[in-house]
Structure 1
């Protein structure tokens, strides 16, 4: 039976803005308060989805969230009509309104952790929505994320869904941004690689001193248990605290894996040699041959990696066994990074080609190509059980492009977030989107 890795890309929401809400994310903070362009951001993301589909890759779409989140503001004491809640929040607590308007759900690499059926005890694909507990504006996402994923992967014979972990610091979970999977083929048993920033209960693990470590070891272990993963099919590794303090807020800012390949920076992990040996041993036991590709700090510094998002790239398997690296335009703008990539693809190694995409709108908000997609390995039967409305096709691309053109603004500032009309525009857009994607009622305004 054939198997595929399907990339479900997040559709950038109508309130895309540069709120600078993510402490530890250098790009997000450095562009805080600048004017954004939601329409351009959504169209750039759709163009990437369409391009990958045209290259023959399986591509899907993950819907954005309702913003501003008026219900969240009500829980914080703002009362009255929806318009009054927004106006009062803008007057009394603008930072809370900005947080409630964040379009950060576009980073669907943080939406959930996914384990394919070949790895799980019950032979189903398992999803655990990330609690994203480290940041308030992200912690309010998982209830809607769970409903959207449930509408996309509804067949209980093939798919299992778990609620987010307890919303406390000890179980901080950032989803697939700190998780990858190695395998010989997507339909075969693999090794799931969980990267954590700190341990909540074991003081033997060092922590960063400046920026928060968002993923805990305890959260990673809990997800592995929920998904029914075997000890032989899991490797845990600690992110280097020093690189977290340099702006590497998730592992996918410093490493990316696919198939049998791990593409990583020399300074990405602690105890790197031990981790590589464990991965190599466990991958060999499931019939694979581990291929680590280390980028030396002498060629690309951590600062280069953070500024260019070299590692926040998509590493895709092609039919001939080679791999394609999808990078943002910022990689071409960094001389050291671009020189390294030219040498990499010319070396005869497994990564043979680099394709560049303009994702400036999302990059300025702190995320690149890998942040925008959630990877789901599916066999033919499971793919057929996915809601067909969310699988990218040429007609769907045209429908979504027209939908964006109708509903999105081309300029967004902090002051625009205080406009009650923005909520009505967002709800109107999302109500139409759920019909296009055949999701049913998944948003609070549709349910309540």
Structure 2
């Protein structure tokens, strides 16, 4: 079996808009009311995916969820008096950020030798809390092979769970047994802590992870207050490497020590606040980059264009390249996603598995990428004005666009 890391990127949906629904997400709040460009957003994401494929990496994708969500609107008995924010929630394209789709534990880590996926309940925000059942339905199609995968229900809504955005895995290679680290927040600060400790512990138990290969770490409350609503805004891991801001965790050295106690090979690449401030780290989404292992074994950081600042480049010049853990940094244009608070890492869900065990309709090749690009170019709205969210004619266009994509990909079971 060829066990590899497959990045499943979320295709940006045709209802992509800037309604500013995400409390604590400073980029989304700042962009509220702006005109969005769904077609450009989707094509930017597809271009990033194709660039990673050109690096020799395996890529998959997940599809936009049904929007506007008629089930959600029916459940709240929506009518002309309904708060506009709730109407906008039913239109949200936030499922594009598949780092929040689920938490994934590879087969090498689990008691039954299967890859386990638990959809995130995302209960902290109404526009996201409606996602998990449709996400689960898609995961059950993509990972239907019961000999290799187990797809669970979400953790009960009593405990907020935001998926892989608060989960890291350390290993000598993607196919080797790993140590899984769950990062949680505590309530009571300026913004809600979206990941509950008990949700993280429940996922670990559900996935059959051994306690001596599992770590639970508290996120720095100051980072949450500064706008790091998920851990992946201030830290990202890949194999032996933890790339992190020095203010990511409540007890920074304690976090390193806890990981090293179970994974002694840990290599920390720490960016000090003296080089890149916490504020700049969050504004630029430097740590919401993809940290990837290329076929030759070298690691490369795929960062958003917004991170190409003087401070970041000055730090990178001295700390990336040569024989250092991260050999290169490359910048990609995902500006439409960034304006709503999601960088390159937000757009992907990492699954370690044999591609032959995955439904091939969810794996990308050149022909499929071209087909998806053609559907997007033909059917996705060029622009959406926030005031148009809720418009009946626009709703029909958004629904038809998604249907066109499902038809092209021969995925009628997700209609």
* CA–CA separation in structure 1 for the residues paired with 2:207 and 2:410: 27
Q: Secondary structure at the match of 2:61?
A: strand
Output one character per residue of 1:390-446: Cα deviation in whole Å (capped at 9) or x when no partner: 11100011000000011111111122222212222222222232233343322xxx4
* CA–CA separation in structure 2 for the residues paired with 1:92 and 1:178: 33
2:149 corresponds to which residue? 159
Q: Secondary structure at the match of 2:364?
A: coil
TM-superposed deviation, 1:92: 4.1
* CA–CA separation in structure 1 for the residues paired with 2:42 and 2:26: 22
TM-score of the two chains, using structure 1 as the length reference: 0.90
2:111 corresponds to which residue? 121
TM-superposed deviation, 1:137: 0.3
TM-superposed deviation, 1:74: 1.2
Show structure 1 runs of 5+ residues with no match. 79-87, 199-206
Structure 1 residue 323 and structure 2 residue 295: aligned? no
Q: Secondary structure at the match of 1:267?
A: coil
Output one character per residue of 1:73-112: Cα deviation in whole Å (capped at 9) or x when no partner: 111113xxxxxxxxx44x6422211111111111100000
1:219 corresponds to which residue? 199
2:212 corresponds to which residue? 232
1:411 corresponds to which residue? 383
Question: 2:179 aligned to 191, 195, 204, which one?
Answer: 191
Partners of 1:314 and 1:370 within 8 A in 2: yes
1:370 corresponds to which residue? 345
TM-superposed deviation, 1:348: 3.2
Structure 2 matches for 1:395-406, cutoff 5 A? 395-406=367-378
2:255 corresponds to which residue? 275
Question: 1:314 aligned to 274, 286, 290, which one?
Answer: 290
* CA–CA separation in structure 2 for the residues paired with 1:136 and 1:280: 37
Show structure 2 runs of 5+ residues with no match. none
1:389 corresponds to which residue? 361
Output one character per residue of 1:188-221: Cα deviation in whole Å (capped at 9) or x when no partner: 11000100002xxxxxxxx452011000110000
1:341 corresponds to which residue? 316
Aligned length, in residue pairs: 415
TM-superposed deviation, 1:347: 5.6
**CA 1:120–1:95: 2 relative to 1, 3 Å:** same
Q: CA RMSD in A?
A: 1.3
TM-superposed deviation, 1:346: 4.0
* CA–CA separation in structure 2 for the residues paired with 1:167 and 1:421: 34
* CA–CA separation in structure 2 for the residues paired with 1:252 and 1:351: 17
TM-superposed deviation, 1:320: 3.2
Structure 1 residue 76 and structure 2 residue 64: aligned? no
Partners of 1:208 and 1:241 within 8 A in 2: no
* CA–CA separation in structure 1 for the residues paired with 2:82 and 2:62: 34
Partners of 1:148 and 1:439 within 8 A in 2: no
* CA–CA separation in structure 2 for the residues paired with 1:349 and 1:133: 40
* CA–CA separation in structure 2 for the residues paired with 1:106 and 1:160: 22
* CA–CA separation in structure 1 for the residues paired with 2:60 and 2:318: 32
1:202 corresponds to which residue? none
Q: Which moved more, 1:94-103 or 1:364-373?
A: 94-103
Partners of 2:55 and 2:294 within 8 A in 1: no
* CA–CA separation in structure 2 for the residues paired with 1:42 and 1:319: 27
Output one character per residue of 1:121-158: Cα deviation in whole Å (capped at 9) or x when no partner: 11111010000010000000001000011111111111
Partners of 2:68 and 2:399 within 8 A in 1: no
1:298 corresponds to which residue? 274
Q: Secondary structure at the match of 1:245?
A: helix
